Structure 1
Amino acid sequence: MIVNNTDVLTVVDLLKSIVGKFPKKEAIFDGTRRLTYEELDKQSNAIASTLKKMGIKKGDHIAVSLPNWHEFIVVIFSIFKVGGVVVPFNTRYSYTEINYILNNARVKAIFSTEEVEGNHLWESYEKIYDSTVHLEYLISVRSEKTNTISFDKMLKNGNQEEEQYVQIEPNDVAIIMYTSGTTGRPKGAMLTHSNIVKTGVMAAQFLRCTSEDVFLIPVPIFHIFGMVPGMISAIASAARIVLTQQFKAEKVLQVIEEEKVTVHHGVPTMFILELNHPNLENFDLTSLRTGIVAAAPVPSEVVRQVREKLHCEILSSYGMTEASPCLTCCSFDDDDVTRAETVGKAMPGVKLKIIDPVTGETVPQGVIGEIVAKSPGIMKGYFEMPEKTSEVLSEDGWYRTGDLGTFDEKGNLRIVGRKKDIIIRGGYNIYPREIEELFYMHEDVMEVSIVGLPDTVLGEITCAAIKLKVGARVTEKELKEFIKGKVADFKVPDIIVLVDDLPMTASGKISKLKLQEKLKKQLAYRLR
């Protein structure tokens, strides 16, 4: 490791420390452009100097709505250099979502492009620009627009030499990252420079990263997974960052081979798709060393195959936006079962407890309760939502995650599910994750998600939506027989549907909310 976690740094300090030691080392490759650490520093200086001329000052909120392009990273550092706060935008946001967050966060300027994967972002931003009182500047990236400023012109006209900007403190807010908002309006988690630097350094140290590593970041940088254990951890290691704009298994496998990737983060779906690619054996993946798999359960068979076929010692990890995000991680010494059935132990500097959701008392080992955490990455709070903040964050810094789990006899954390995902069928509590993990043991199952559907007699019934592997011919009846005997009878899904695809979030998670809405309509004729 290049940076020590005992150092209290801002993100700008972090970059400068690496530029001072490795100016000519390649920092970023996004498939179109390669930048050294020195070029990243100079380009962000140029954009920062232009932002300063535009009147952007310390504390101003600047949105970035871009895919995984090198410009995204340049812009992030330029905003930090003028003391601004980055508000990352999911490029899949609809007009309604964009409008709410832009106004809620009082965004002063936004960097965006014309469209991403068919989503015409610029149209939404232009429409909002005419009606909002906060948004002053639209800045186009990789597109030239009339009556706006472009990234390229800012880069050309800006001063690439370091200027004297405002003083930034480690506890200043660096990012306001909005949560998905599955239970109401999205909430803006305020993460400080200290939050994200310390967590990024911690993750890099845990994975034993060095300047020789090459990080593949297939998850979006606008998501906390791509931002901190991805981008920040890589920079803290003086490693090289390889960005992919869109996840396609074949493209990723090709990039791993060509760029000699050593660290491969991802969600389970990504690894499953790579393992099931028909030409997998034709790629040289021997450069892979390790990576974090997170955001969903990962079957032990997948862990074993990733190790054997991808030559990658992936480690299961657990966290969330509000924790910047890492709280736990498996270790290199853990076996496949531990890596699949648990998310490991608390990472250095992290404290965890399992409490009774009602009384708040700590529960005995092995008993299911709510996971609460205290770590250097825990947010300051939700932006201008003191009531929502006080619901989850205690005065002494303990964060209530809303997740349910247990500790095993070795101290490993096992995630049972979200409090809000519990299905109550005829008075019995069902934790979807428990049954999903069993389905993943079936050789023909690629992905599965279990949700509750309304029932006038039982209150709720369970429905398993299952995507099969290519060429599989298993039936719904056979899948139901497979699960019987492995769980109590009331946990066997009432309905099993085979689907071609499951609705996904931009970060690669299965969206249970969208799935539930879809299945309610699709299965209306079968519901009581």
Structure 2
Amino acid sequence: MKDIQTILENAYKAEPDKEAIFDGYRRITYRELYSDVENLSSALAHLNITKGDRVMVCLPNWHEFVTITFSLAKIGAIIVPCNTRYKADELSYILENSRSKAVFLIDNNDHIEIFKNKVNNTIESNGLEQIFTVRCKSEGYRSLEELIELGREKSTPKIRIDSREDIFSILYTSGTTGNPKGVMLTHYNVLKTAQLTNVALESSKEDVFLIPVPVFHIFGMAASIVPAVEAGAKMVLLEEYKALKALRLVEQEKITVHQGVPTMFILELNHPEFADMDLSSLRTGIIAAAPCPEEIVKKIRIEMGCNIVVAYGSTETSSTLTVTSLEDDDIIRSQTVGKPTSGSEVKIIDANRKEMPTGEIGEIICRSPGVMKGYFEMPEKTSEAIDSDGWFYTGDLGTIDNQGNLRIVGRKKELIIRGGYNIYPREVEELLYQHHSVLEVAIIGLPDTVMGEVACAAIKLKPGKEETEESIREFIEDRIANYKVPDRFIFLDELPMTPSGKIKKLALQEELRAKLHSTLR
């Protein structure tokens, strides 16, 4: 099995002068990308970054992220992507846990000062030796441009990569339920999943991928960047998502594959200038990370002309685990997340780890080429998540229908037990997403001395829309059993979100508990 670096080499040899990346700042051909990767990997090796070393990379959706990713892969070093919005405690935790040897930073004084202090304090450095800057200068530290120049004078060492064993990346989970865990993904994990993603999308070198999701997240990296390079396609990176900017890029760059979370597509469909845009180049794309209502799937297909597929996965599965097909109808795409990718197995089990019958709700477990090697230096957490037979326990609840399609019900830890009855938040959320005024919604459990828990719907409305608790309650109460109707409805201007577009339910629950404290029983 080839490694990550090999796919870039193949794309370069096939069409060296084909445009590989446009990020609004620079256009780069595969020849230029390959050259930069060769030179950077040479420089890093010269500076004693060796196989197995961890390197933190705190960059937004810039072309430099791609260069650094493939350079580290070439020398067998491990990329540790970080959210550019992380604060001191979050960055320090990841540095301490990963014991990264070097870090790439942008012009963020807070970040630069944090890491300068670490490097200069041997006790706190946790092994951090070098700081590299990107698109900025910082006295005493090399910039990416200087590294690439240095690499021109050095030879690149030949490093043997065992794709099934050697770690390509350590991505830290969002930490919605405690401290983030470092997910170790091998070259094989990410590359095999990328290939399966391309099969689902029927990708080719003619495609142009729009990547508006963060590249430091599994969706941006394993389901977007790596598939695009594996196909020899072009990538258009969007640094900060804005609906109008995305629409303009589709028109300008003739985007064929549009990746994204449901909110992105909803914002584009509802933008005042949507009807004026030429979106005829759109062919397909992946929508993931949150439920997508049937009406939105239909609008994406008809009004955008984009034959979207819906996928499900996690950081621990290298992203895509299941996916709908280009032939599935809108109901399957909106109510399920499709079938397992080739070579993947999915089962539904009960609390005793016994497989459940078709249609019954239980925990989703899986075996697939993308399942992680484990959590970095957390053997107990790893053994809790992956059993001796290689089954990964996702913590998600779902069902499998007669056709083999998986339906997500929610997270085990999000299950609300109201007066002895189980409420699965996702079921209620999917209904509320069908309301014409609802942009985002989350169902949260709140403590109640009588019922044990009650359900609260936190809702963000579409721009210009007005609703009341009564109007939303009226919309939903005839559609589900009365015990599933939320006890409270609260309207918020914003819901706390992870970089991948998921609502941070733990943070939202804490916010609502504090906000509604005086009225809770």
Same fold flag (TM > 0.5)? yes
* Residue 207 in structure 1 maps to residue 201 in structure 2: yes
**Partner SS, residue 175 of structure 2:** coil
**Partner SS, residue 7 of structure 2:** helix
Match of 1:4 in 2: none
Q: 2:117 aligns with which of 127, 135, 152?
A: 127
1:347-371 Cα shifts (integer Å, max 9, x gaps): 1111111111x21111100100111
Aligned partner letter, 1:211? K
Is residue 465–residue 496 contact of structure 1 (8 Å, CA) maintained in 2? yes
For residue 460 of structure 1, report the CA deviation from its aligned partner.
1.5
**Partner SS, residue 94 of structure 2:** helix
Match of 1:5 in 2: none
Match of 1:228 in 2: 222
Match of 2:315 in 1: 321
Match of 2:520 in 1: 527
Correspondences of 1:51-66 after superposition (within 5 Å): 51-66=44-59
Is residue 43–residue 160 contact of structure 1 (8 Å, CA) maintained in 2? no
Aligned partner letter, 1:300? E
1:3-27 Cα shifts (integer Å, max 9, x gaps): xxxxx11001111122111111111
Aligned partner letter, 1:128? K
TM-score by length of structure 1 reads 0.96
Aligned partner letter, 2:271? H
Match of 2:433 in 1: 440
Match of 2:64 in 1: 71
**Partner SS, residue 195 of structure 2:** helix
* Residue 262 in structure 1 maps to residue 256 in structure 2: yes
Aligned-partner Cα distance in 1 for 2:462–2:337: 25
Is residue 294–residue 334 contact of structure 2 (8 Å, CA) maintained in 1? yes
1:478-508 Cα shifts (integer Å, max 9, x gaps): 1111111211111111110111121111112
- Give identity over the alignment, percent: 51
Match of 1:107 in 2: 100
Aligned-partner Cα distance in 2 for 1:378–1:326: 10
Match of 1:149 in 2: 142
Q: 1:511 aligns with which of 488, 504, 507?
A: 504
Match of 2:130 in 1: 137
Moved more, 13-22 or 432-441: 13-22
Match of 1:345 in 2: 339
Is residue 176–residue 505 contact of structure 2 (8 Å, CA) maintained in 1? no
Match of 1:312 in 2: 306
**Partner SS, residue 308 of structure 2:** strand
Aligned-partner Cα distance in 1 for 2:117–2:271: 42
Unaligned ranges ≥5, structure 1: 1-7
Q: 1:336 aligns with which of 312, 330, 333?
A: 330
Match of 1:178 in 2: 172
Is residue 42–residue 162 contact of structure 1 (8 Å, CA) maintained in 2? no
**Partner SS, residue 414 of structure 1:** strand
For residue 112 of structure 1, report the CA deviation from its aligned partner.
0.9
For residue 161 of structure 1, report the CA deviation from its aligned partner.
8.3
Aligned-partner Cα distance in 2 for 1:143–1:165: 31
1:189-240 Cα shifts (integer Å, max 9, x gaps): 1100001011101101111011100000000111000001100100111000
Is residue 316–residue 339 contact of structure 1 (8 Å, CA) maintained in 2? yes
Q: State the aligned residue count.
A: 517
Aligned-partner Cα distance in 2 for 1:33–1:471: 37
Is residue 100–residue 126 contact of structure 2 (8 Å, CA) maintained in 1? no
1:65-101 Cα shifts (integer Å, max 9, x gaps): 0000000110111111111011111112121111011
Aligned-partner Cα distance in 2 for 1:366–1:109: 49
* Residue 48 in structure 1 maps to residue 41 in structure 2: yes
Q: 1:377 aligns with which of 330, 345, 370?
A: 370
Runs of 4+ residues deviating >6 angstroms:
none
Aligned-partner Cα distance in 1 for 2:267–2:117: 38
* Residue 39 in structure 1 maps to residue 32 in structure 2: yes
For residue 447 of structure 1, report the CA deviation from its aligned partner.
1.3
Unaligned ranges ≥5, structure 2: none
Is residue 24–residue 238 contact of structure 2 (8 Å, CA) maintained in 1? yes
* Residue 12 in structure 1 maps to residue 10 in structure 2: no
Is residue 433–residue 441 contact of structure 2 (8 Å, CA) maintained in 1? yes
For residue 150 of structure 1, report the CA deviation from its aligned partner.
0.8
Aligned partner letter, 2:204? T
Is residue 267–residue 293 contact of structure 1 (8 Å, CA) maintained in 2? yes
Match of 1:495 in 2: 488
Aligned-partner Cα distance in 1 for 2:434–2:45: 56
Aligned partner letter, 2:417? I
Aligned-partner Cα distance in 2 for 1:164–1:505: 38
Correspondences of 1:276-425 after superposition (within 5 Å): 276-356=270-350, 358-425=351-418
**Partner SS, residue 281 of structure 1:** helix
Aligned-partner Cα distance in 2 for 1:486–1:128: 56
Is residue 45–residue 157 contact of structure 2 (8 Å, CA) maintained in 1? no
For residue 456 of structure 1, report the CA deviation from its aligned partner.
2.1
Q: 1:94 aligns with which of 87, 93, 114?
A: 87
Aligned partner letter, 1:125? F
Aligned-partner Cα distance in 1 for 2:508–2:374: 30
Aligned partner letter, 1:221? V
**Partner SS, residue 158 of structure 1:** helix
Aligned-partner Cα distance in 2 for 1:70–1:112: 14
Aligned-partner Cα distance in 1 for 2:333–2:43: 47
Q: CA RMSD in A?
A: 1.3
Cα distance change of structure 1 residues 435 and 347 upon mapping to structure 2, 3 Å threshold: same
Is residue 30–residue 70 contact of structure 1 (8 Å, CA) maintained in 2? yes
For residue 162 of structure 1, report the CA deviation from its aligned partner.
6.7
For residue 457 of structure 1, report the CA deviation from its aligned partner.
2.1
Aligned-partner Cα distance in 2 for 1:156–1:281: 47
Match of 1:187 in 2: 181
